[in-house]
Amino acid sequence: MLLLVGLGNPGARFQNHRHNVGFMAIDLIQDRWRFNSPRARFKSEAADGNIDGVRVLALKPQTHMNNSGEAVGEAMRFYKLTPDDIFVIHDELDLAPAKVRVKKGGGVAGHNGLRSLAAHIGPDFWRVRIGIGHPGEKSRVTGHVLGNFAKEDAAWVDPLLKALAEAAPQLVRFDAAGVMNKVALALQPPRKKESSPAPKESPSDEPAKD
C-alpha cells in the first residue's frame, strides 16, 4: 500500500489556484487508473485504486493546506506505513513553470502544506514538485500562489498533468528519473521536419537555346 497525496485547499473558489495543482494531479491520476469513487476518510477525499499492480490510496486532504499533515498522519498510522510509502504532489515556487522534480525528503521552503506534513510525519516523504514559478517579489507571492492559472498556462499545465498521470507506474515503482523523463518528453515541442534541399540542375536540364 502506498499513499498518493495531492495538496490543495477544498472548495470551488480554490480549485483553479496554482496552490491546488496537487489536487488537479490527483483527479487526473484517479481518472486515468480508474480508482474507486472518493469517499470521506482521514479528513480527506480518499479513493482506492491499483497502479501497475500496486495498491494505492489517493488522498486530497480537506483540512485546508496548512493542516494537511493531520490527514496524512491519520492515514499513515492506520495502514502502519512509513514516510517512504508516501508521495506528495505539490506546487513549487522555486521551480520554473512546467518543470517537475521528484525527490525524497528535503526542507519545506516556506510551503505551509509541507511544513504541516513534516511536523506530523517527519520530512522523509517523497515529493513530486510541480513548478509554478516565482512572481519575482516577495510581496506578490501570496497573490501568485492563491491566484488562478493564467489562460496561457493551459498550454503546459494540461499536458504536464496528463503526462504525470501516465507516469504513475514509474512513480509507484520509485523510479524518480523515469517520472521526470516521461513528463519532460511530453512537454517537448514537436520537431519540425527539415525540408530537403532542392536538387541542383544538371547540364542536361538546362533549357535549349534557339
Give the separation between CA 56 and CA 64, rounded to whole angstroms. 22
- Please pick, among 19, 90, 111, 144, the residue that the annotation labels catalytic: 19
Helix (H), strand (E) at residue 60: strand 54-61
- Residue holding cell 473558489? 13
Question: Distances from the Cα of 206 to the Cαs of 36, 196, 197, 198, in angstroms?
Answer: 73, 22, 19, 15
User: Which of these, 57, 61, 48, 127, lies nearest to 88 by C-alpha position?
Assistant: 127
Is 134 one of the annotated active-site residues of the chain? no
Burial 84-110 (b: 16+ CB within 10 A, else e): eebbbbbbbbebebbbbbbeeeeeeee
Residue at 38: amino acid letter? P
**Residue positions annotated with a catalytic role:** 19
